[in-house]
Structure 1
């Protein structure tokens, strides 16, 4: 399904109680459209003529714990994982497949309650966060985290959502 002339979204509900998949797909489409627009305009990110594909996998905590254990040696669920199809540095030209973003339903619901925000807002944030990882953005070093969080905050603001980091230290 086309999100924007620059990106194509493939959604798969693999595990968990995601309810209306179409509603989650619409959230992801809006998040990706805003992210593409921001990266193209503000970060001078080039986008190919043929829309690259992003795969969004909706999972539960058990599936996410298995994936996190296999790929990151952390046998616990996490809210989002991103797997770029090809290495990409910020500002680089993406290939035909950007990669996979995987979301874990129970963790997202739990975090949304803890943060006092709607689940849909948290899903939107995590899609943007995962998408930026596919483009080579990271938050390992503080300076990289500050840059990535500023881009996330700007994208979410364009969607009418509040700063997910508020007065916190970079992740």
Structure 2
């Protein structure tokens, strides 16, 4: 759905979203996924127009947006000043970026992160359903692991990173076609 300004709306969904169809000026259903610092995720309907997409991303993330390219088909939109503004670390988005990139990033991601499909013709396309599933699965597993750590703390930060990244990489591998 769009409101009077033509912006998209967030919708909570744990089921398969409608296929991401891009029609200029129309909504891209399930076109993006927001991952919050608490490891929750939310499917987002993207507007099909570039300015409306930029407005929605600023509304969801903040005024300054940087784009990280950790997967060819799924740019991550992050707050450009999140660390300086002391936004909470987004462990789930960081673990997903590491798993997609195939390396341990030496920096963290802060605040809410939005993952979209690729940038084509001045707009972001809808995120592929397999990538939505991967991102949701990583966020879910990170949330479960953080809950488990409340009763079984990791030995140290290095052990925590290894365990977290193992969970994320397993989630990404399990969704890849055989």
Same fold (TM over 0.5): no
Q: TM-score, normalised by structure 2?
A: 0.31
Calculate the TM-score normalised by the size of structure 1.
Answer: 0.32
Q: Higher helix share goes to which structure?
A: 1
